[in-house]
Structure 1
Amino acid sequence: MLLSTVRAGLRMSSRRAQHCKTTTSHYSPSRRTISGSAATLYSSNALAVDQDRENNKLTETHHVKPEHAVISAFDLFSIGVGPSSSHTVGPMRAGKIFITDLDELRLLDRVKSVKVTLYGSLAATGKGHHTPQAILLGLEGSDPETIDCGTIPSRYDAILNNKSLHLGGKHRIHFDMDRDMLWRWDQVLKTHPNGMRFSCFDESGDLLATNEYFSVGGGFVVNDKTKVDENLFYKGVDKRVVHGARLHQTHQAEQGDPILGTPNEDDPGHPPYPFDSGNSLLALTRKHNLTISQIVHDNERYFGLSEQDIHEKLLRIWAVMDDCIRTGVSTTQKTLPGRLGLRRRAPMLYRRLMRGFYPGIGMPTPHLIGSGSLSAGSIDAPEDTETSQTAPPDEDDAGLTKSVRGGYRAPLVTGSFNHAILPVPPRKTMIPAVDFLSCYAIAVNEVNAAGGRIVTSPTNGAAGVIPAVLKYIIEFVSDDPEKSIKTFLLTAAAVGMLFKRGSTISAAEGGCQAEVGVACSMASAGFAACMGASPETVLQAAEIGIEHNLGLTCDPIDGLVQVPCIERNSLGAVKAITAAQLSMASDGVYRVTLDEAIEAMRLTATDMSVKYKETSLSGLATTVKIPLTVPAC
């Protein structure tokens, strides 16, 4: 039983319970390695200087976990809401799990009050990541995949104003945000930095039930009652009816060489093609003459999905991604929520791309954006506030300056003509691949930052990289879109599984290298696969994609998934295609393997200070000052 019920023998008032000792461990230097979904490495005082490295030396040998890396691709790619998979999607799922368990235990009707405590990174940046909204709506029974994103702000405001929470949509209780939600940013629970504790009390103030949940990245939730190495996942599935393999990743390899074994569909012990590393995945492709996407496809059958189910789910994932791009480029909203007052750029970028080289043509062509194509009038002309921040107010999108009479004249040139180095007049650059990739990625992440519907791929903070690259393939490369969609997503999923097992996909554990870095690696592999590259070249593309993101920190300004996150997705998408092209242009001799790069990422994450792991305690988060005159303050 996941929920710890406290029987009548345990009597305590709500006041005493609120001040009782908690089983927390302060941040302290640790030699524990980060592996998969459960690891901790935090310093006790987040504001203190890092401890002496001699007290935190790392082991040279990576501890090999006994379980395979295979999980469902549809647990890695899941439909949710922004702005964060670990701070929004995961907490919402945790809230719903807690209420569902209370209902199953027939305790829901006895609940009089609920206490929520947030720890570590969840507490440090939770407000900017909409963690309170996610938890409270999860406690009301909402799910990230089906919730109406447009109702989230109004429902949250109603909870705050009325001080009332409708548990599971069935039982209404009093809830005071200031009293019933506690923030422990300087403490961390022992399993993971993204920890939360839910407790409920009856009318007498006696503790009915309590549990701890950990949002480990990508929307995955781990329960503290489960052993760390079991990787218990909740990812939009009903644990009462789902195939056991989607809950437990402990189907260990049998004696001999099971990784290269012959698939046995009657054996429930593991998927037909289990792999635990890039090398074992390559060995499977060689032995069975299968591509990486075919390996992942056949493993999905083990999770109870038919071929038609897999086909429909993959196309559904892409449909949401594509719709997210379309929403991002067609929105009429000018700014993103939050104190930064950041202006949306995707609509302006898209208009410029559609205008091409002719300043008088400004509307988008209908065929370019997916199946639900945009009409000529579906995007309103942006106001001056939508232009580039570096452009003067009277400058037009094409770079021409409007004259007083309404015509156009050449832009002003900055610099002296009486100099040995003559100034260069402004000119419009046009690199279509880079421009479209940037536009697509920015569109997705602006939708995410606004709390819209997105696909976690593999996280929300990095949700723009994979859709941008896949959109580029479909629009400019592929002659069979459905085939490309399936090949790309399944190949990318295989790489994501390797990172989840061998390192982490949580910024709270590994910084942004675990999010945009992993997404870049996954997209590189997917692009190479769609270009017909061999499995060896595909994994080398993934290696190049992560190698040049190692050490990337996560220091979001004001705890918002906006700066540097949005632009970083744009660069990640461009870097993904560059990595794939480099791998395909090579001679097939590689010095660094994907497995070695994943291990390097794990060690880098272990060495990285907590201040750069989604806590907004250093970097850009502290050097950029937010003016108090911003209206959203």
Structure 2
Amino acid sequence: MSAYVSLTELFTLGIGPSSSHTVGPMRAAADFVDELRVSGRLDRVARVECVLYGALAATGIGHGTPDAVVAGLAGSRPETCDPDDVRGAWRRLGDGVTVALGGTRPVVVRERDVVFAPLTRMPLHTNALRLRALDGAGTAVADRVYYSVGGGFVVPEDARPSTVDRPAVPFPFTTAGELLAICAATGNSIAEVADANEAALIGADCVSGAIDRIWSAMVACIDAGVSTEGRLPGGLDVVRRAPGLFRRLESGGDAIDWLQTYAMAVNEENAAGGRVVTAPTNGAAGIVPAVGRYYEQFLAGGTADMRAFLLTATAIGSLVKANASISGAEAGCQGEVGSACAMAAGALCAVLGGTPAQVEYAAEIAMEHHLGLTCDPVGGLVQIPCIERNGIAAVTALSAARMALGSDGSHVVSLDTVIETMRQTGLDMSDKYKETSTGGLALNVVMC
């Protein structure tokens, strides 16, 4: 079994404000309806109910979770939906609105059909939702629990690991130590190892196109973020700052300021429910694009290798996802921003000429200095401290890459050790610091 996750799974196109609270539930609802259709039960459905548990319930309204569920039931998918159609979809239901399940089966859905159970933690993950389809007599046609485990990944309750559907990769690895051993034995860079694995998973002819689509979407999100004025929704009255910062930088400024502006631009777009790329989550979506754009604009000299950049980031993100967590509801913000910072630092180190050992060191530095970082969004919104936090972490990624490049790659603490420490820290962390908005800043910032 390899830890490697395809870049098309780790970097997915979706909408804000949250990969676990918005993207995942939308996918779960759409999958639920697809299952009803394929099994021939869709025409029997007269009602649909949804229960949101744990963190999905605690901060679901601020994260747009009920809207995402309603949109998913109607057949919307995060990759292709119009964000404007999703916003407010739940509130618009009121006492009952006809929703075409999967775009075909008309069913009246009411606002109260979405139930919140924030104090109930389901066994596999705190981000859980139950979807029930009922016939006209109130008998269950289908009853399914889904877990949104971070980064938009969704796991049905009864899912079993597949040994058939997923192709074998030529370079399987489960730890950073194994990845470095592969590089030493083959002479390949980390990006080249990831490239070969991608070829096996999605086809060699598809890798370049996938990378181009991902990077183009990241750049488009930055561009939208630096050009869209206004205030963010949700009641905190947060003003978008990226456009003003961008205008001032066009007249001259420090290169580091560009890096922070790019990161904040992405996360302001995310907070507004716009189109973003999970990297590896929405809450941390600004770091990898910002560092990549900074590299392309200021460091590459016209020869930016975004293929190596994104493939290296994918390999590092795969390690974190397999051995710890990229879910803020499971590991706190160390699992989101810490993971993204490690991915960006390692990727930047690689494209600036770092050896595999230096790349591993850069990722280790970045992750180590995010250990213990809590997820305590004010008002249950992905705004404070999330937007600024992405800007700070982007600069940390740059610093980590530079520090690693200035070394010979040898160091005392391995990336594997830091990832395991992050996992343990997440287990020890109180739930009030894991995306529930019941502790930290969320408790101490008074909303008027």
Percent pairwise identity: 46
Shift of 1:480: 4.9
Give, as a single letter, the amino acid of the residue that structure 2 aligns with 1:450.
A
Residue 69 of structure 2 corresponds to 135
Structure of larger gyration radius: 1
Shift of 1:70: 1.4
Residue 277 of structure 2 corresponds to 455
Give, as a single letter, the amino acid of the residue that structure 1 aligns with 2:192.
Q
Shift of 1:156: 4.6
| 1:166 partner SS | strand
1:101 to 3, 27, 35: 35
CA separation of 1:439 and 1:161: change in aligned 2, threshold 3 A: farther
Shift of 1:148: 1.1
Mapping for residues 555-570 of structure 1, pairs under 5 Å: 555-570=376-391
Mapping for residues 46-65 of structure 1, pairs under 5 Å: none
| 2:193 partner SS | helix
Residue 311 of structure 1 corresponds to 208
d(CA) in 2 for partners of 1:83, 1:209: 29
1:187 to 116, 120, 126: 120
Confirm or deny that 1:536 pairs with 2:357: yes
Unaligned runs of 5+ in 1: 1-66, 233-242, 246-267, 357-429, 628-633
Residue 425 of structure 2 corresponds to 604
d(CA) in 2 for partners of 1:588, 1:140: 51
d(CA) in 1 for partners of 2:421, 2:428: 11
| 1:303 partner SS | helix
| 1:298 partner SS | helix
d(CA) in 1 for partners of 2:427, 2:382: 23
CA separation of 1:193 and 1:231: change in aligned 2, threshold 3 A: farther
d(CA) in 2 for partners of 1:274, 1:587: 26
Give, as a single letter, the amino acid of the residue that structure 1 aligns with 2:243.
P
Unaligned runs of 5+ in 2: none
Deviations 1:27-52 (A, max 9, x none): xxxxxxxxxxxxxxxxxxxxxxxxxx
d(CA) in 2 for partners of 1:588, 1:566: 32
| 2:270 partner SS | helix
Q: Under a length normalisation based on structure 2, what TM-score does the superposition of the two structures give?
A: 0.97
Residue 260 of structure 1 corresponds to none
Give, as a single letter, the amino acid of the residue that structure 1 aligns with 2:115.
L
Residue 73 of structure 1 corresponds to 7
* Equivalent pair of 1:222/1:231 in contact (CA under 8 Å): no
Residue 283 of structure 1 corresponds to 181
2:165 to 210, 230, 244: 244
* Equivalent pair of 1:109/1:171 in contact (CA under 8 Å): yes
d(CA) in 1 for partners of 2:295, 2:162: 34
Residue 103 of structure 2 corresponds to 169
Confirm or deny that 1:617 pairs with 2:438: yes
2:84 to 103, 125, 150: 150
Shift of 1:109: 1.1
Give, as a single letter, the amino acid of the residue that structure 2 aligns with 1:324.
C
CA separation of 1:615 and 1:296: change in aligned 2, threshold 3 A: same
CA separation of 1:311 and 1:113: change in aligned 2, threshold 3 A: same
Deviations 1:302-360 (A, max 9, x none): 214223x110110110111101111011113x10001101011000000110122xxxx
Residue 199 of structure 2 corresponds to 301
Give, as a single letter, the amino acid of the residue that structure 1 aligns with 2:218.
M
d(CA) in 1 for partners of 2:144, 2:96: 26
Q: Under a length normalisation based on structure 1, what TM-score does the superposition of the two structures give?
A: 0.69
d(CA) in 1 for partners of 2:156, 2:419: 26
Residue 397 of structure 1 corresponds to none
Give, as a single letter, the amino acid of the residue that structure 1 aligns with 2:228.
T
* Equivalent pair of 2:87/2:273 in contact (CA under 8 Å): no
Give, as a single letter, the amino acid of the residue that structure 2 aligns with 1:208.
V
Give, as a single letter, the amino acid of the residue that structure 2 aligns with 1:195.
A
2:171 to 255, 258, 273: 273
2:330 to 484, 509, 522: 509
| 1:172 partner SS | strand
CA separation of 1:512 and 1:271: change in aligned 2, threshold 3 A: same
Residue 251 of structure 2 corresponds to 355
| 1:562 partner SS | coil
d(CA) in 2 for partners of 1:155, 1:462: 25
Shift of 1:149: 1.5
Give, as a single letter, the amino acid of the residue that structure 2 aligns with 1:508.
A
Confirm or deny that 1:326 pairs with 2:238: no
Deviations 1:148-207 (A, max 9, x none): 1122236555434753222101011111112x1111100011111101100111011111
* Equivalent pair of 1:83/1:450 in contact (CA under 8 Å): yes
d(CA) in 2 for partners of 1:151, 1:197: 23
d(CA) in 2 for partners of 1:231, 1:534: 34
d(CA) in 2 for partners of 1:511, 1:187: 18
Shift of 1:289: 1.1
d(CA) in 2 for partners of 1:589, 1:226: 41
* Equivalent pair of 2:5/2:314 in contact (CA under 8 Å): no
Mapping for residues 318-467 of structure 1, pairs under 5 Å: 318-332=215-229, 334-356=230-252, 430=253, 432-467=254-289
